[in-house]
Amino acid sequence: MAYSAKIGPSILSSDLACLGRECMRMMGCGADYLHLDVMDGHFVPNLTFGHPMVECLRKSVGQDPFFDMHMMVSRPEQWVKPMAAAGANQYTFHIESTTNPGNLIKEIRESGMKVGLALKPGTTVEELAPWANQIDMALVMTVEPGFGGQKFMEDMMPKVSWLRSQFPSLDIEVDGGVGPDTIHKCAEAGANMIVSGSAVIGSDDPRSVISLLRTVVAEAIQKRSLDR
């Protein structure tokens, strides 16, 4: 089994005026990677930051932290090269935002980044299937993209289970409303990359929350490997 449990705090719900420090705090608390939410006010009704901020953040935190860019933007093609130059490691775009996923996947790879492909709650998992062998990670959104702090949509779990059954070694990420109360559902369904915003950042003890999330997912991975 090629995949492992990884926890990526979403820094959307942190103090954005202290982003460099917040990112380092999360890495110090045991985060495996950082999930950076880019919103353009068009694909989603909210606005966050773009590649100039990512460039500053990379300078501030150094080369090590893995930046998973969650691109909630209408024209994802536009930001591939600027994000790669700014220091992004993975470019996760929404299948709903482009008419040519194949070309975009190629451009992202040529820019030296890993490829993530995201699905909004209303998009069927079959739409992702044709691309699954060309991507590094599938992102199943468990809230409508746009805001942190929303309620987890458990009815997205069949998408995760289906992807895990069809693509046993694919990295599968869940994002939205994931925390200690909902992690078991995600882990049982087969997710291995866990984005958690408010549950981690808002906690008095982020280290313990990250550790708990990772333990639950690692145990589910181990159980699956024994059941095979």
Ligand X SMILES: O=C(CO)[C@@H](O)[C@H](O)COP(=O)(O)O
Active site residue 37: yes
CA-CA-CA-CA torsion sign (220, 225, 226, 228): positive
Q: Which does 208 bind (CB under 5 to 8 A by kind): Fe ion, ligand X, none?
A: none
| Near ligand X by CB under 6 A: residue from 5, 6, 7, 12 | 12
Query: 146 labelled as ligand-binding?
Result: yes
**Nearest-approach distance from CB 157 to ligand X, in angstroms:** 16
| Near ligand X by CB under 6 A: residue from 83, 189, 196, 217 | 196
Q: How many residues bind ligand X (CB under 6 A)?
A: 22
Q: Which of 37, 40, 68, 171 is catalytic?
A: 37
Give the closest residue to 3 by CA, choosing from 170, 209, 223, 180: 170
| Near ligand X by CB under 6 A: residue from 28, 41, 102, 149 | 149
Burial 152-161 (b: 16+ CB within 10 A, else e): bbeebbebbe
Active site residue 155: no
- Does residue 195 bind ligand X (CB under 6 A)? yes
Q: CA-CA distance, 107 to 87, in Å (whole number)? A: 16
Q: In terms of CB distance, is 65 or 177 closer to ligand X?
A: 177
Polymer length of the chain: 228
How far CA 183 is from CA of 6, 86, 93, 210, in Å, comes to 12, 32, 24, 11
Q: In terms of CB distance, is 41 or 130 closer to Fe ion?
A: 41
Query: 13 labelled as ligand-binding?
Result: no
How far CA 106 is from CA of 70, 97, 131, 134, in Å, comes to 18, 16, 11, 9
SS3 (DSSP) at 6: strand
Q: CA-CA distance, 150 to 81, in Å (whole number)? A: 31
Query: 148 labelled as ligand-binding?
Result: yes
- Does residue 37 bind ligand X (CB under 6 A)? yes
Per CB under 5 A, contacts with Fe ion among 66-85 are: 70
Provide the Cα torsion 220, 222, 224, 227; round to 10°.
-130
The amino acid occupying position 92 is T
Write out the H or E segment, with its range, that includes residue 214: helix 206-227
Per CB under 6 A, contacts with ligand X among 85-124 are: none
Q: In terms of CB distance, is 63 or 156 closer to ligand X?
A: 156
Query: 175 labelled as ligand-binding?
Result: yes
**Catalytic residue ranges:** 37, 175
Q: Which residues bind Fe ion (CB under 5 A)?
A: 37, 70, 175
Please report, in range form, the residues annotated as the binding site for a divalent metal cation. 35, 37, 70, 175
Q: Which residues bind ligand X (CB under 6 A)?
A: 10, 12-13, 35, 37, 70, 143, 145-150, 175-178, 195-199
Please report, in range form, the residues annotated as the binding site. 10, 35, 37, 70, 146-149, 175, 177, 197-198
